[in-house]
Amino acid sequence: MQLISRVFKEYPGSFFLFGPRGTGKSTWLKTSYPDTLIIDLLEPDVYRRFSARPERLRDVVEGNRHQQIVIIDEIQKVPQLLDPVHALMEEKPGLQFILTGSSSRKLKQSGVDLLAGRAALRSMHPFMAAELGGKFNLAGVFKKGLIPVVYSSPDPVEAVKAYVELYIKEEVMAEGLVRNIGDFSRFLEAISFSHGSILNTSNVSRECEVERKTVQGYIDILKDLLLAFMVPVFTKRAKRAVVSHRKFYLIDPWVFHYLRPRGPLDRSEEMEGAALEGLVAQHLRAWLDYGSSSCKLYYWHTKAGSEVDFIIYGEEGFWAIEVKNSTKVHTVDLRALNTFVQDYPECTPIFLYRGKETLKINNIMCLPCEDFLKNLSPLNRSPM
């Protein structure tokens, strides 16, 4: 199969490379850094050797002095390796370490801050539309998502099933992160209804019949496994009362579709709307991360009910983005953007929809969502 080039670029110093399983971290590293010393902790024998004696890393580095780059794949499997890594960074300034991880939980518990200032934090995301080029289309994304290991599978349905089960069995059960896997499975179904919505843990708790505190712990597990993320509310210079809760998103629209229970009362338009909003969210996160932007991603929701899906705010610019799963632009769809512009005339408002025409209505750029995503590149400082 043809290798898809990633927009993620090499970094000159040592860095952590975080990203969910299956996003192509190992493939990118092997392509970008051929003939490099790689310690793959997913290999059972390698894991056993280094977990029993982390200081063995020094012996391996000394035995491969011609190698100036050391890659440790899935560093969270043996977080004790951070101590010898830190020592070697002190002793050998010319040595570059690349430490990949698909979970931040163990590293948080083990003091990843030991390397603060010596190793940058980078993230790899699912495919962006700009990486797929002509292969990208919205209809196809809703059928197989953008996680590389699932996207490349000849059977995306079975692939996403295996992908989710992998996390439940290998990460959650093996690490003893939950006591009752049945409760956690019910939680996964319940939390899928919160995708693209303001998170209410009490509602999720009632839905899956699990204590609220336990639900919050489960949400933290999803975030630590990089399977979900939260978007905070925009509050700068607020002229109106805004809500305080964050919005919740799963990492990929196909994972959302797999987890979300469906029945006769569920409308496909409603699910596609949430999936489309989540797709735009993950693209904006990747665009900001890959472009090393100082901007941050927010949403805006007043207590009176006005909501704008995404606010991008920082030194590089200020944009307000509304996403609708509709093929036409209706005046009512622009109401929230107009309200936001009244409060923040400095922003550039953007309306994304499923139509084909680029329009400008009351100074609001209305863009086809598919075109917007294809043109969203870290090489551009503006999302337009």
**83 and 136 part of one domain:** no
Q: Residue 159, Cα to own-chain centre: how many angstroms?
A: 19
**133 and 117 part of one domain:** no
How many domains does the structure of the chain reveal? Answer: 2
Residues 6+ apart with CB under 8 A from 97: 14, 69, 70, 71, 72, 85, 88, 89, 119
**61 and 144 part of one domain:** no
Is 339 within the bounds of a domain? no
pLDDT of residue 115: 72
Nearest to 319 by CA among 365, 279, 373: 365
What domain range is 184 assigned to? 129-226+249-271
**138 and 263 part of one domain:** yes
Give first-to-last CA distance, the chain, whole Å. Answer: 32
Q: What tens digit of pLDDT does each residue of 228-245 get?
A: 999 999 999 888 888 889
Q: What tens digit of pLDDT does each residue of 250-284 get?
A: 999 999 999 998 776 667 777 899 999 999 999 99
Is 199 within the bounds of a domain? yes
**150 and 60 part of one domain:** no
Range of weakest confidence among 86-90, 115-119, 206-210, 303-307: 115-119
- Dig out the tokens for 362 from the structure: 């009351």
Is 166 within the bounds of a domain? yes
Q: What tens digit of pLDDT does each residue of 165-187 get?
A: 877 777 777 666 677 888 888 99
DSSP-assigned states of every residue in 208-225: HT--HHHHHHHHHHHHHT
Taking every pair of Cα atoms in the chain, the longest distance, rounded to a whole number of angstroms, is 68
pLDDT of residue 235: 94
The pTM assigned to this predicted structure is 0.92
**93 and 26 part of one domain:** yes
What number is the average pLDDT over the span 103-121?
A: 69
DSSP-assigned states of every residue in 34-63: TT-EEEETTSHHHHHHHHH-TTHHHHHHHH
Task: Mark 12-28 as b/e (b = at least 16 C-beta within 10 Å).
Answer: eebbbbbbbbbbbbbeb
**78 and 206 part of one domain:** no
Q: Which residues pair with 247 in a beta bridge?
A: 231
What number is the average pLDDT over the span 316-326?
A: 96
Task: Mark 342-362 as b/e (b = at least 16 C-beta within 10 Å).
Answer: eebeebbbbbbbbbeeeeeee
What value does the mean pLDDT of the chain take? 90
pLDDT of residue 55: 95
Of the candidates 123, 153, 175, which is a domain's last residue?
123
**140 and 267 part of one domain:** yes
pLDDT of residue 255: 92
| Contact assessment for residue 282 and residue 251, using Cβ atoms and an 8 Å cutoff | yes
Q: Tell me, what CATH number does 84's domain have?
A: 3.40.50.300
pLDDT of residue 197: 95
62: left (phi over 0), alpha (psi -120 to 50) or beta: alpha
Q: Which residues pair with 70 in a beta bridge?
A: 37, 97
Q: Where are the beta strands (DSSP E) in the chain?
A: 15-18, 37-40, 69-73, 96-101, 120-123, 197-198, 228-231, 247-250, 296-301, 307-314, 317-323, 348-353, 359-361, 364-368
Q: What tens digit of pLDDT does each residue of 9-28 get?
A: 888 899 999 998 899 999 99
DSSP classification of residue 381: S
